[in-house]
Amino acid sequence: MKVMITGYGRMGKLIEQTLSDAGDSVVSRIDIDNASDLDTLGKVADVIMDFSNPSLTDQLIAYADRTGTPLLSGTTNMTVQQHEAMAKLGEKIPVIWASNYSLGVNLFMHILPQVAAALDGWDIEITETHHNKKVDAPSGTAKSLADAIDPKGAYERVNGRSGNCGARTKKEIGMHALRGGTVTGEHKVDFFGNDEVFEITHKAGSRQILVDGAIGAARKLIEKEPGLYDMETLLFG
């Protein structure tokens, strides 16, 4: 598999090393300092693996559209318009976006709708913990967990609480972000009922689980027809 990597930070470098160990090749590396290459570069890869940031997304979508290169993206904090543009791109080429590519997290999101339906009326809180260099909060994965629980937006998302916020009287999902040390990633959803608590937690021991999941998804994506895919579809049909 020939891969273009966009976003050559810790994830991008680990993806390159893992691909090399598997006998695949990275044929292009795009980061902020050479993003202008996307404006003139032809098709060089079987797939783009994107773990950059939204400042690169518009150029990347334009490049994938022009060259017909399948796109796998793990970039978080994109705008609504950028997500819409990625969906439109899926009309021409295979595209997948996910906030988290680990098997465990995607199983987490797969079962959450069933848990939420069974525990209807319980209070819900989401807590995510990451290393002290993560720049966005809440994490993209935390937002995806909330979407899995509440796909129709019936709940208000409350990012932390402070001051005299009053009793909990409306449908809401509390979103809490912790930052410190070298924690790769931990996500927990708590369901609070009368006299009992049900919680689900996923802990990532390293970024390797994200890399392995993303590479596995890329291998499946390049065999697909045009469309906007998600990990739910690739893993569970």
Angle between helices 103-118 and 140-149 (to 10 degrees): 30
Cα 1 to chain centroid distance, Å, stands at 22
* Residues designated as active site: 130, 134
**Which residues lie across from 166 on neighbouring strands?**
none
What separation in angstroms does the CA of 58 have from each of 36, 49, 88, 108, 144? 12, 15, 13, 30, 22
Strand ranges (E), 168-207 = 172-179, 185-193, 196-204
Q: Please give the Cα distance from 139 to 118 (Å, whole number).
A: 26
The separation between the first and the last C-alpha atoms of the chain, rounded to the nearest angstrom, is: 23
Q: Please give the Cα distance from 160 to 87 (Å, whole number).
A: 31
